[in-house]
Amino acid sequence: MEDSSVRKMRIMYVSNSRDNDFNNNPEKNKWNLLPYLLEKNGAEVKTIGKKELYKFYFEYLKFKPDIILTTWVPAGFIPVLLKKMGIIKSPIIHRWEDYYAESMTNYPRFLVSFMERYTAKNADYIITVLKTLYDASRRMNKKVFLLPYGITPGSKKTKINLNKLKTKKSNLKVIYLGDLTSRFKRVDKIISAAKNTNCDLFLFGEKPYAELIEMSEGYKNIHFMGWIDTQEVASILKQGNILVNTANHDMSMKFLDYINAGKPILALNDRPAKFFVHGKTAYLTNDFEKGLRELIRDKRVRSEIKKNMKNIKVYSWDDVSKIHMELYRAILSGQDLSTFVSDYYHV
Protein backbone atom coordinates (compact mmCIF):
# COMPACT_ATOMS: atom_id res chain seq x y z
CA MET A 1 0.00 0.00 0.00
CA GLU A 2 1.31 3.44 -0.97
CA ASP A 3 2.37 5.72 1.90
CA SER A 4 0.69 9.10 1.29
CA SER A 5 2.94 10.75 3.89
CA VAL A 6 6.05 10.37 1.72
CA ARG A 7 4.69 10.96 -1.77
CA LYS A 8 3.87 14.30 -3.34
CA MET A 9 0.43 15.82 -2.92
CA ARG A 10 -1.70 14.82 -5.90
CA ILE A 11 -3.88 17.56 -7.35
CA MET A 12 -6.33 17.00 -10.19
CA TYR A 13 -6.95 20.33 -11.93
CA VAL A 14 -10.18 20.37 -13.95
CA SER A 15 -10.90 23.39 -16.13
CA ASN A 16 -12.56 24.55 -19.35
CA SER A 17 -9.15 25.22 -20.82
CA ARG A 18 -8.60 24.01 -24.38
CA ASP A 19 -4.91 23.42 -23.74
CA ASN A 20 -4.32 21.06 -20.84
CA ASP A 21 -0.67 20.39 -21.72
CA PHE A 22 0.69 23.14 -19.46
CA ASN A 23 4.20 21.70 -19.27
CA ASN A 24 4.88 22.30 -22.95
CA ASN A 25 3.86 25.96 -22.94
CA PRO A 26 2.91 27.26 -19.48
CA GLU A 27 2.83 30.88 -20.69
CA LYS A 28 0.25 30.15 -23.41
CA ASN A 29 -2.71 30.17 -21.05
CA LYS A 30 -2.63 32.22 -17.85
CA TRP A 31 -5.18 29.90 -16.27
CA ASN A 32 -2.64 27.11 -16.63
CA LEU A 33 0.12 28.96 -14.82
CA LEU A 34 -1.28 27.84 -11.47
CA PRO A 35 -1.10 24.05 -12.06
CA TYR A 36 2.34 24.46 -13.63
CA LEU A 37 3.62 26.27 -10.54
CA LEU A 38 1.84 23.97 -8.11
CA GLU A 39 3.88 21.18 -9.66
CA LYS A 40 7.03 23.30 -9.45
CA ASN A 41 6.34 23.86 -5.74
CA GLY A 42 6.01 20.22 -4.76
CA ALA A 43 2.73 18.78 -6.04
CA GLU A 44 1.98 16.16 -8.65
CA VAL A 45 -0.63 17.67 -10.95
CA LYS A 46 -2.97 16.03 -13.42
CA THR A 47 -4.84 18.48 -15.67
CA ILE A 48 -8.14 17.78 -17.38
CA GLY A 49 -9.17 20.20 -20.14
CA LYS A 50 -12.65 20.59 -21.58
CA LYS A 51 -11.94 18.12 -24.39
CA GLU A 52 -11.25 15.46 -21.76
CA LEU A 53 -14.14 16.05 -19.36
CA TYR A 54 -15.86 12.91 -20.64
CA LYS A 55 -13.11 10.77 -19.11
CA PHE A 56 -12.83 12.67 -15.81
CA TYR A 57 -13.99 9.73 -13.67
CA PHE A 58 -11.63 7.26 -15.36
CA GLU A 59 -8.70 9.66 -14.79
CA TYR A 60 -9.83 10.19 -11.19
CA LEU A 61 -9.72 6.45 -10.49
CA LYS A 62 -6.31 6.12 -12.11
CA PHE A 63 -4.70 9.22 -10.56
CA LYS A 64 -6.23 8.94 -7.04
CA PRO A 65 -5.98 12.71 -6.25
CA ASP A 66 -5.72 14.10 -2.74
CA ILE A 67 -7.53 17.23 -3.91
CA ILE A 68 -9.62 18.14 -6.94
CA LEU A 69 -9.24 21.76 -8.00
CA THR A 70 -11.86 23.03 -10.46
CA THR A 71 -12.67 26.21 -12.33
CA TRP A 72 -15.59 27.26 -14.54
CA VAL A 73 -18.50 25.07 -15.62
CA PRO A 74 -19.14 22.39 -16.70
CA ALA A 75 -15.60 21.59 -15.48
CA GLY A 76 -16.61 22.28 -11.88
CA PHE A 77 -20.12 20.90 -12.17
CA ILE A 78 -19.14 17.36 -13.16
CA PRO A 79 -16.89 16.62 -10.12
CA VAL A 80 -19.34 18.07 -7.58
CA LEU A 81 -22.22 16.12 -9.13
CA LEU A 82 -20.26 12.89 -8.82
CA LYS A 83 -19.25 13.85 -5.26
CA LYS A 84 -22.90 14.49 -4.40
CA MET A 85 -23.74 11.02 -5.76
CA GLY A 86 -21.05 9.51 -3.52
CA ILE A 87 -18.98 8.27 -6.45
CA ILE A 88 -15.83 10.27 -5.62
CA LYS A 89 -14.34 11.02 -2.21
CA SER A 90 -11.56 13.61 -2.67
CA PRO A 91 -12.22 17.12 -1.34
CA ILE A 92 -13.20 19.55 -4.11
CA ILE A 93 -11.91 23.11 -4.13
CA HIS A 94 -13.70 25.29 -6.66
CA ARG A 95 -12.08 28.44 -8.06
CA TRP A 96 -15.21 30.59 -8.45
CA GLU A 97 -13.46 33.52 -10.09
CA ASP A 98 -15.87 34.86 -12.68
CA TYR A 99 -19.58 35.41 -13.24
CA TYR A 100 -20.22 32.40 -15.46
CA ALA A 101 -23.89 33.07 -16.24
CA GLU A 102 -23.03 36.63 -17.29
CA SER A 103 -19.90 35.88 -19.27
CA MET A 104 -20.67 32.56 -20.99
CA THR A 105 -23.04 34.21 -23.44
CA ASN A 106 -22.84 31.47 -26.09
CA TYR A 107 -24.75 29.06 -23.86
CA PRO A 108 -28.30 29.12 -22.38
CA ARG A 109 -28.12 31.40 -19.38
CA PHE A 110 -30.52 29.36 -17.25
CA LEU A 111 -28.33 26.27 -17.70
CA VAL A 112 -25.06 28.04 -16.93
CA SER A 113 -26.64 29.77 -13.93
CA PHE A 114 -27.89 26.45 -12.56
CA MET A 115 -24.46 24.80 -12.95
CA GLU A 116 -22.70 27.84 -11.47
CA ARG A 117 -24.81 27.88 -8.31
CA TYR A 118 -24.89 24.08 -7.95
CA THR A 119 -21.10 23.89 -8.25
CA ALA A 120 -20.53 26.62 -5.66
CA LYS A 121 -23.07 25.20 -3.21
CA ASN A 122 -21.77 21.65 -3.39
CA ALA A 123 -18.00 22.15 -3.59
CA ASP A 124 -16.24 21.51 -0.28
CA TYR A 125 -14.32 24.80 -0.44
CA ILE A 126 -14.41 27.96 -2.56
CA ILE A 127 -11.43 30.06 -3.64
CA THR A 128 -12.11 33.42 -5.26
CA VAL A 129 -10.44 36.71 -6.05
CA LEU A 130 -13.81 38.53 -6.22
CA LYS A 131 -15.33 40.13 -3.13
CA THR A 132 -18.77 39.82 -4.74
CA LEU A 133 -18.43 36.04 -4.97
CA TYR A 134 -16.72 35.83 -1.59
CA ASP A 135 -19.80 37.44 -0.05
CA ALA A 136 -22.11 35.15 -2.07
CA SER A 137 -20.19 32.12 -0.81
CA ARG A 138 -20.46 33.34 2.79
CA ARG A 139 -24.23 33.62 2.36
CA MET A 140 -24.22 29.96 1.31
CA ASN A 141 -22.29 29.15 4.52
CA LYS A 142 -19.36 27.92 2.44
CA LYS A 143 -15.76 27.70 3.57
CA VAL A 144 -14.39 30.40 1.26
CA PHE A 145 -10.97 32.00 0.86
CA LEU A 146 -10.21 35.33 -0.80
CA LEU A 147 -6.84 34.64 -2.40
CA PRO A 148 -4.77 36.67 -4.86
CA TYR A 149 -4.05 36.26 -8.55
CA GLY A 150 -0.56 36.54 -9.91
CA ILE A 151 0.68 39.17 -12.33
CA THR A 152 2.07 38.64 -15.80
CA PRO A 153 5.88 38.35 -15.43
CA GLY A 154 6.62 40.76 -18.30
CA SER A 155 10.25 39.90 -18.94
CA LYS A 156 10.14 40.68 -22.66
CA LYS A 157 10.55 44.20 -24.03
CA THR A 158 8.06 44.89 -26.79
CA LYS A 159 9.03 46.27 -30.18
CA ILE A 160 5.72 48.16 -30.37
CA ASN A 161 6.15 51.92 -29.93
CA LEU A 162 2.77 53.50 -29.23
CA ASN A 163 4.11 57.04 -29.53
CA LYS A 164 4.80 56.46 -33.20
CA LEU A 165 1.19 55.36 -33.76
CA LYS A 166 -0.50 58.37 -32.16
CA THR A 167 -2.62 60.53 -34.46
CA LYS A 168 -1.73 63.70 -32.56
CA LYS A 169 1.37 64.42 -30.51
CA SER A 170 -0.69 65.93 -27.66
CA ASN A 171 -3.02 62.91 -27.37
CA LEU A 172 -2.82 60.70 -24.29
CA LYS A 173 -2.39 56.97 -24.85
CA VAL A 174 -5.32 54.92 -23.54
CA ILE A 175 -4.87 51.15 -23.42
CA TYR A 176 -7.41 48.34 -23.18
CA LEU A 177 -5.94 44.86 -22.81
CA GLY A 178 -8.11 41.77 -22.88
CA ASP A 179 -11.06 40.03 -24.45
CA LEU A 180 -12.47 41.64 -27.60
CA THR A 181 -14.81 38.77 -28.44
CA SER A 182 -17.36 39.05 -25.63
CA ARG A 183 -20.07 41.68 -25.23
CA PHE A 184 -19.86 41.03 -21.48
CA LYS A 185 -16.61 43.02 -21.47
CA ARG A 186 -18.41 46.21 -22.69
CA VAL A 187 -15.51 47.21 -24.94
CA ASP A 188 -17.95 49.20 -27.10
CA LYS A 189 -18.23 51.68 -24.20
CA ILE A 190 -14.59 52.73 -24.33
CA ILE A 191 -14.56 52.84 -28.15
CA SER A 192 -17.57 55.17 -28.12
CA ALA A 193 -15.90 57.26 -25.41
CA ALA A 194 -12.61 57.60 -27.29
CA LYS A 195 -13.96 58.47 -30.73
CA ASN A 196 -14.04 62.23 -30.32
CA THR A 197 -11.71 62.55 -27.34
CA ASN A 198 -8.14 63.81 -27.22
CA CYS A 199 -6.58 60.41 -26.98
CA ASP A 200 -5.44 57.43 -28.99
CA LEU A 201 -7.10 54.19 -27.90
CA PHE A 202 -5.03 51.02 -28.30
CA LEU A 203 -6.98 47.77 -27.99
CA PHE A 204 -4.96 44.59 -27.45
CA GLY A 205 -6.72 41.28 -27.89
CA GLU A 206 -7.79 38.66 -30.40
CA LYS A 207 -10.51 38.85 -33.06
CA PRO A 208 -12.81 41.74 -32.09
CA TYR A 209 -16.43 41.04 -32.93
CA ALA A 210 -17.77 42.72 -36.07
CA GLU A 211 -19.67 45.56 -34.39
CA LEU A 212 -16.50 46.82 -32.71
CA ILE A 213 -14.78 47.10 -36.07
CA GLU A 214 -17.81 48.77 -37.66
CA MET A 215 -18.22 51.40 -34.93
CA SER A 216 -14.51 52.29 -35.20
CA GLU A 217 -14.49 52.87 -38.96
CA GLY A 218 -13.32 56.36 -39.90
CA TYR A 219 -11.71 57.03 -36.52
CA LYS A 220 -7.95 56.91 -36.93
CA ASN A 221 -7.36 57.26 -33.20
CA ILE A 222 -8.88 53.81 -32.56
CA HIS A 223 -6.20 51.14 -33.01
CA PHE A 224 -6.83 47.38 -32.95
CA MET A 225 -3.40 46.00 -32.09
CA GLY A 226 -4.07 42.27 -32.08
CA TRP A 227 -2.78 39.68 -29.64
CA ILE A 228 0.54 40.11 -27.86
CA ASP A 229 2.80 37.70 -26.04
CA THR A 230 1.98 37.67 -22.31
CA GLN A 231 5.65 38.45 -21.64
CA GLU A 232 5.19 41.78 -23.46
CA VAL A 233 2.24 42.92 -21.37
CA ALA A 234 4.18 44.91 -18.77
CA SER A 235 6.26 46.64 -21.45
CA ILE A 236 3.10 47.63 -23.36
CA LEU A 237 1.17 48.87 -20.33
CA LYS A 238 4.01 51.08 -19.12
CA GLN A 239 3.66 53.09 -22.35
CA GLY A 240 0.07 54.05 -21.54
CA ASN A 241 -1.17 57.21 -19.85
CA ILE A 242 -4.52 55.67 -18.89
CA LEU A 243 -5.43 51.97 -18.62
CA VAL A 244 -9.09 51.07 -18.98
CA ASN A 245 -11.17 48.08 -17.90
CA THR A 246 -14.83 48.24 -18.91
CA ALA A 247 -15.88 44.86 -17.46
CA ASN A 248 -17.87 44.74 -14.23
CA HIS A 249 -15.31 42.91 -12.06
CA ASP A 250 -14.09 44.05 -8.65
CA MET A 251 -10.77 42.29 -9.32
CA SER A 252 -9.18 40.48 -12.25
CA MET A 253 -5.82 39.52 -13.71
CA LYS A 254 -6.17 42.53 -16.00
CA PHE A 255 -6.58 44.90 -13.05
CA LEU A 256 -3.51 43.43 -11.39
CA ASP A 257 -1.41 43.87 -14.52
CA TYR A 258 -2.65 47.48 -14.63
CA ILE A 259 -1.78 48.03 -10.97
CA ASN A 260 1.66 46.55 -11.57
CA ALA A 261 2.17 49.05 -14.41
CA GLY A 262 1.46 51.90 -11.95
CA LYS A 263 -0.73 53.90 -14.34
CA PRO A 264 -4.15 55.52 -13.72
CA ILE A 265 -7.06 53.11 -14.20
CA LEU A 266 -10.47 54.01 -15.63
CA ALA A 267 -13.16 51.53 -14.55
CA LEU A 268 -16.88 51.06 -14.03
CA ASN A 269 -18.43 52.51 -10.88
CA ASP A 270 -20.07 49.26 -9.79
CA ARG A 271 -18.33 46.06 -8.66
CA PRO A 272 -14.88 47.66 -9.05
CA ALA A 273 -15.87 50.00 -6.20
CA LYS A 274 -15.55 47.00 -3.85
CA PHE A 275 -11.79 47.28 -4.31
CA PHE A 276 -10.93 50.68 -5.80
CA VAL A 277 -11.60 54.10 -4.25
CA HIS A 278 -12.74 56.72 -6.75
CA GLY A 279 -10.14 59.42 -7.31
CA LYS A 280 -7.65 57.61 -5.06
CA THR A 281 -6.78 54.25 -6.61
CA ALA A 282 -8.85 54.47 -9.81
CA TYR A 283 -11.26 56.75 -11.63
CA LEU A 284 -14.69 55.12 -11.42
CA THR A 285 -17.52 56.15 -13.70
CA ASN A 286 -20.87 55.08 -15.14
CA ASP A 287 -20.29 57.29 -18.19
CA PHE A 288 -17.03 56.30 -19.86
CA GLU A 289 -16.96 59.26 -22.24
CA LYS A 290 -17.41 61.76 -19.43
CA GLY A 291 -14.97 59.87 -17.19
CA LEU A 292 -12.33 59.60 -19.90
CA ARG A 293 -12.56 63.33 -20.71
CA GLU A 294 -12.28 64.30 -17.03
CA LEU A 295 -9.35 61.98 -16.39
CA ILE A 296 -7.53 63.30 -19.46
CA ARG A 297 -8.13 66.88 -18.37
CA ASP A 298 -7.26 66.42 -14.67
CA LYS A 299 -3.55 65.71 -14.38
CA ARG A 300 -3.72 66.09 -10.60
CA VAL A 301 -6.13 63.14 -10.26
CA ARG A 302 -3.97 61.01 -12.53
CA SER A 303 -0.96 61.78 -10.35
CA GLU A 304 -2.91 60.99 -7.16
CA ILE A 305 -3.98 57.59 -8.51
CA LYS A 306 -0.44 56.74 -9.62
CA LYS A 307 0.93 57.66 -6.18
CA ASN A 308 -1.63 55.57 -4.28
CA MET A 309 -1.21 52.55 -6.53
CA LYS A 310 2.26 52.02 -5.17
CA ASN A 311 0.67 50.92 -1.88
CA ILE A 312 -1.27 48.04 -3.48
CA LYS A 313 0.66 44.80 -3.15
CA VAL A 314 0.85 42.51 -6.15
CA TYR A 315 1.98 38.89 -6.16
CA SER A 316 3.84 36.73 -8.62
CA TRP A 317 2.19 33.49 -9.77
CA ASP A 318 4.89 31.68 -7.81
CA ASP A 319 3.76 33.54 -4.66
CA VAL A 320 0.16 32.58 -5.43
CA SER A 321 0.97 28.90 -5.92
CA LYS A 322 2.74 28.80 -2.54
CA ILE A 323 -0.30 30.36 -0.86
CA HIS A 324 -2.51 27.74 -2.51
CA MET A 325 -0.22 24.91 -1.43
CA GLU A 326 -0.31 26.17 2.14
CA LEU A 327 -4.12 26.10 2.07
CA TYR A 328 -4.26 22.62 0.53
CA ARG A 329 -1.92 21.25 3.20
CA ALA A 330 -4.05 22.83 5.90
CA ILE A 331 -7.18 21.22 4.43
CA LEU A 332 -5.62 17.77 4.15
CA SER A 333 -4.14 17.90 7.65
CA GLY A 334 -7.44 18.94 9.24
CA GLN A 335 -6.11 22.24 10.58
CA ASP A 336 -8.39 24.98 11.87
CA LEU A 337 -9.02 26.98 8.69
CA SER A 338 -10.55 29.93 10.51
CA THR A 339 -7.06 31.30 11.09
CA PHE A 340 -5.93 30.96 7.48
CA VAL A 341 -5.12 34.39 6.03
CA SER A 342 -7.61 35.23 3.27
CA ASP A 343 -7.67 39.01 3.15
CA TYR A 344 -5.13 39.65 0.42
CA TYR A 345 -7.50 42.03 -1.34
CA HIS A 346 -10.44 44.19 -0.30
CA VAL A 347 -9.06 44.98 3.17
Measured CA distances, 254 to 115, 179, 328 (Å):
26, 10, 26
Where does residue 220 rank: exposed (0-12), middle (13-18), buried (19+ CB within 10 A)?
exposed
Instruction: Mark residue 42 as left, alpha or beta (left: phi above 0; alpha: psi -120 to 50; beta: remaining).
Output: left
Residue 346 has what pLDDT?
A: 46
Residue 264 has what pLDDT?
A: 97
| Residues 265, 282 contacting (CB under 8 angstroms) | yes
What residues pair up with 67 in beta bridges, in sequence order? 11
Residue 5: pLDDT over 80: no
Query: How far, in Å, CA of 25 to CA of 7, rounded?
Result: 26
List pLDDT tens digits, range 152-184: 777 789 999 999 999 999 999 999 998 898 888
Residue 345: pLDDT over 80: no
Buried-state track 159-179, b at ≥16 Cβ within 10 A, e below 16: ebebeeebeeeebbbbbbbbb
Query: How far, in Å, CA of 98 to CA of 243, rounded?
Result: 21
347: confidence class by pLDDT, cuts 50, 70, 90: very low
Query: How far, in Å, CA of 116 to CA of 76, rounded?
Result: 8
Query: How far, in Å, CA of 288 to CA of 190, rounded?
Result: 6
Residue 26: pLDDT over 60: no
Residue 332: pLDDT over 50: yes
273: confidence class by pLDDT, cuts 50, 70, 90: very high
Count Cβ atoms below 10 Å from residue 319 Cβ, excluding itself.
16
Measured CA distances, 58 to 50, 54, 87, 91 (Å):
15, 9, 12, 17
List pLDDT tens digits, range 200-241: 999 999 889 899 999 999 999 999 999 888 889 999 999 999
List pLDDT tens digits, range 66-117: 999 999 999 999 999 999 999 999 999 999 999 999 989 889 999 999 999 9
Query: How far, in Å, CA of 50 to CA of 253, rounded?
Result: 22
Mean pLDDT value of segment 301-324: 92
Residue 340 has what pLDDT?
A: 81
Query: How far, in Å, CA of 20 to CA of 63, rounded?
Result: 16
Residue 241 has what pLDDT?
A: 97
Of the candidate ranges 27-41, 134-148, 184-198, the one whose mean pLDDT is the lowest: 27-41
Residue 25 has what pLDDT?
A: 52
Residue 194: pLDDT over 80: yes
Q: What is the distance of C-alpha 262 from the center of its chain?
A: 18
**Geometric angle at alpha carbon 242, from 236 and 244, rounded to 5°:** 90
| Residues 50, 15 contacting (CB under 8 angstroms) | yes
Residue 344 has what pLDDT?
A: 66
Query: How far, in Å, CA of 155 to CA of 43, rounded?
Result: 26
What domains are defined for the chain? 9-148+316-339 (3.40.50.2000), 162-309 (3.40.50.2000)
Residue 60: pLDDT over 90: yes
Mean pLDDT score of the chain: 90
Residue 1 has what pLDDT?
A: 41
Phi, psi of 10 (to 5 degrees): -100, 120
List pLDDT tens digits, range 251-270: 988 999 999 999 999 999 99
